[in-house]
Structure 1
Amino acid sequence: MSFEEFGLSPELLSGLADVRIEQPTPLQNEVIPPALQGKHMLVKHEAGDDGVFLIPALQKLTTNGEVTGTRVLILTPSIERVKEIDEKVWGMGYHAQISSAALSMKGIRTQQEQAIKDGAPVVVANPGRLIEILENHKLTLPNVDLIIIDEAHGMENYNLVSRVKDILKYVDGAPQSLIFSESHNKATEQLADFLLKDPTVLGFDDTQSSEKEGSKETSSSKKEKQQESSSDKQTDSDEEFELNQEEVNRKLAEASVSVVLNPEEKEEAEETQAQAEDSKTEEDPDPVPEDLAQAYIYVPPRAKISTLLAHLEKNLTDKIVVFAASKRTTDRLFRIIRKKGWGVVSINEGLKEEYYNERFGKFTSGEMKILLVGGLSATEVELDEVKQVINYDVPNEVEEYKYRAELVGNGKAARIVSLVSKMDKDDIDEIVKKVGYAPTELPLPKEVKEKKGRGKKSDNDKNRKKSDKNSRKKNDDRDRKRRKKPKKQKNKKTNGLPRPSYEGLSGGKEGKKNKKRPTPGKSDGAFGWIKKLFD
């Protein structure tokens, strides 16, 4: 058969072409048709062929109208599988615009909580993290119509079966269930009994199939029969002989066998211990070791890049990972550091796999000494050991700080350094509070201090020059006002001397007394004499 014969949507077919799935596998040919018909299924399945359950799941999302909220719930015990499945959902569902949320035990909790609240159409989750979010925030999953259990055999560890059952309390209705498992162990059996109704069974033998179809005796009736049988045997044995306890103790000591008088109490203790180990293993990162050198540098405003560069220059022999909050920041840092010739590569969220592998390989091989990580959690950077982790941006989650600390080796030079600005103070205070012991403050690099000092001196010079300029301007304005003042008083004396008038010029010294213009025909003085001469 071909995917077209399954009646898949054009958008999903395009997505399958993008991830290079061209023809259905034999198992897909068996599983997809009954899954699309809404059948409950128990399938023997090994990891690798994830299309066997993702194809029918995504097809349901493309055909069931405009129902909002989480409609497909995929539960898996493995942290790595959460990431793998989430990426495949994104690739296959890209053209159908199907989004998903990954809830792994090593993810950032606040982002995962928001994804549940927003109602991501597909949720891929570790049971421990999902039930924690549902219980803490009293959330429900009312629109789920398909539940997929991936690697059901792995649910046997850490009491995950009971967590799956608890999750179902927050799911409304009776959704279709598909269980995929490599083996038919106790966990698979319990999940099948709890979730499946009249299932189609593929890959397991007839005996195991009949167990799922209800032909076996119920577990309660089996237990009753065993109790009756045990009671009968005990009665018979009591009648036949009297127990010699001393002899029993001697033989047990010789055989080095320990006797459990109350097996029920032992089972409860083992279950409690398993839950504790599960909580420690899955939910929280390892505590930050006290011998890890934690440090921070208090960075003044507009000095973070120069502080980073000065710090890197003193540690170029180490393998260093620098975490930043965004791709934009790492791009800027990459351009600056590359000009220094220090050997740097950058990775970030959304980077194509081929580029990611190439850059990451250059760092792990030692060809490049500095790795810039933008917008990614430390859980997504698979490093065994680095000599130094630098928080260019302090994480706002204590768990993320611990995950970054896990990347650091245990050598004497190993440490995690945070560049703390005024905006980061609250975050670093919260980290110190949760971790339990404070990082050591490192001094601001000498060259940054000097640059900062020159900056202050330069500012003082500028202010002084500006003050002098303003003072000179005021003096000039005052002088201009003084110079303009006499011009306004045109008829007043200047420097104590009388301003001559036209009439005064006509009469010489005696002209002062002639305040009236002379009458025609009577001209006195030089002008009169000249006039008479021409006449």
Structure 2
Amino acid sequence: MAWAEKFKLNKQLIKAVTEAGFDMPKEMQLKTLTRIAGGQDVIGIGPEGAGKTTTLVLGTLNRFGYKADGVPRALILAPDQERVFEIVAQFDRLNRNSTLRIVSLHSGAPVDQQMDDLADGADIVVATPDRARAIYLKLGLNLNKVNFMAIDDAHLIVKQGLQLPVIELANSIDKGQHLVFTEVMHDKLEKMLAPFMLNAATIEVDELPEEKIRTHPQILYHVPNFGTKLNLLSLFMYDEELFTKTVVFANTKTTAETLYKNLENRLRKSVVLLAPAFHEHHQVKDINEFKANDAQRVLIVAGETVTDIDLSGIPFILHFDLPLEKEEFIGHIVNNNLEAEEETLAITFATDIELDQVRKIEQATGQKMQSVELPEELVIQKTRKQKESEKVVKPTKEDPNKHVPGEAFHEKKPENAKTYNFSANKKAKMNKKKNH
């Protein structure tokens, strides 16, 4: 009866989890369920299999210790139809309250049918954000009495670009408790949660398997966007003394060609593409040809065109993109020769939306990638939105004869103006640093 000893769950739930085969609570449940029962907002971060969905379902059901009245009290958001079905299945597995009605909203059924389901009565609504928002705007989803909102797989919601519906739904709920479960936390997810997760407790669990896969040493560079990835790749590959032989993996032929064109202007014939994906650029037929040619330093490989590649003897293996299948990545970094004289280093570039793939790889290999700081000399590429937000608004023309009583005016020196762009020499003198 470990569940009864550790948590204030109602008797129906205690019996349900025991009969479902959950003999012992997982670390995620141990660290969060008491807080959830106490009404606290919680952000739970953990890998796949950490028990996040079960925690969400138990935390939701524990609120319904009374006879339900058919009016939505809880809203559960999931990234897609498949996850909605999985959550509903877990509710069905653990729910012993026969009066409790659960309705799902997703793209797999007509809107009118789902509005009719809601009209028949719903206590818990499990939905994708876009479908829930669409029905809410049609006045089919009543949020007036919702006092409990939970988000499962929040990182995937961000990856699919569904942040706005989530924020709008959260803002439509006057007050209540919020739960968020995710595999990773990053800037884009934090931005989505900021409007409604003000004083949440963040609980993170990290359950790595005991058995580890033998891999090359790995380091991770967390970069903000694709453009910064390109800048970082160029910065590394221009270092001829360090990066003597590097294989760079991209997910698609289009990305591989972009990398080639970005490097080719400076590296010339020392950068090549792996055939047969390309025909009009410098290329090699196989990796052995690349290994044998000392003049060739960088080999770019489009992952979609290659299923097996011998990377033995390559000093640097760099993943510009993360493959969708973690097995493909692991196949590149497995160390099959522990006696090798020269050690191979595996380097990974990852943006916010790729961090969940990083975590899946770490779970599969049983070890963390070493996260390192970005080089100081790296140019951080601005996104289009950042550039647009920084555009200077031109002031409107004022009447030169217009006089404002009491106003003193003097023109600022250029260097005192906020919009003034100091030259490199000027900045160096200001900072008393040598200008390189």
TM bracket, shorter-chain basis: 0.3 to 0.5
Q: Flag the structure with higher helix content.
A: 1
Larger Rg: 1
TM-score of the superposition, structure 2-length normalised?
Answer: 0.45
Query: What TM-score do you get using the length of structure 1 for normalisation?
Result: 0.37
Higher relative contact order structure (alpha carbons within 8 Å, sequence separation ≥ 6):
2
